[in-house]
Structures are given as structure tokens and as C-alpha cells.
Amino acid sequence: MDKFDVIKLLSDETRFSIFKTLLDFDRLCVSEIENLLGIKQANTSKHLRKLKDFDVVESVREKNTIFYNVKDQFLTDNEELIRYLLV
């Protein structure tokens, strides 16, 4: 994914909020993101799926809960751009 694609993906306010929250909390499940951001579950899941499709986040299942976190490789590949977006 090139820098333009990253900017386009994260230009959605909800997706960007989810992305920033995952950076702050390292890993969260859908209900935690929903509660922190006040976003409905269906909307949260939709945006997480989009972030996952573009290899921004990954998911790990632990028993009945799926946790999401930002992929290390995405952070490494886009470090400068992420710093710029977070300012």
C-alpha cells in the first residue's frame, strides 16, 4: 500500500479514531472500541474489517473474544506518515 492509499484509508474520521485508539491501547476487542468511541458495534466492525483488509490491523482470537491491534509491519512501513497524521 502506498502513502496515498494510507491517507485515503485513514481519511475517514471513524477509521482514524479507531486507528488512534488502537495505538493508545495496544489491543482492544470490538466492544471496548465501541465503548471508548461511542460507535455502534456494526459500524465498528465494518471499519475494523476495512483496516484489516488493508493490512493495517490484525486480529487474534482468545477463547470467544477477538482482539485487534495495529500491525507492527504497518507501523514500520509508514512511521513518518503516521507521525505526521498524529500531529
Distance CA 12, CA 76 (A): 22
What CATH code would you report for 3-86?
1.10.10.10
Mean pLDDT score of the chain: 96
Let me know: does 50 contact 19? Beta carbons within 8 Å. Answer: no
Let me know: does 27 contact 38? Beta carbons within 8 Å. Answer: no
Residue 87: predicted pLDDT = 84
| Residue 64 cell numbers, joined | 470467544
Among 44, 42, 71, which residue's Cα sits nearest to residue 82? 71
pLDDT band at 11 (very low <50, low <70, confident <90, very high): very high
Q: By percentage, how much of the chain surpasses pLDDT 90?
A: 94
Residue 82: predicted pLDDT = 94
pLDDT tens digits, 12-49: 999 999 999 999 998 999 999 999 999 999 999 999 99
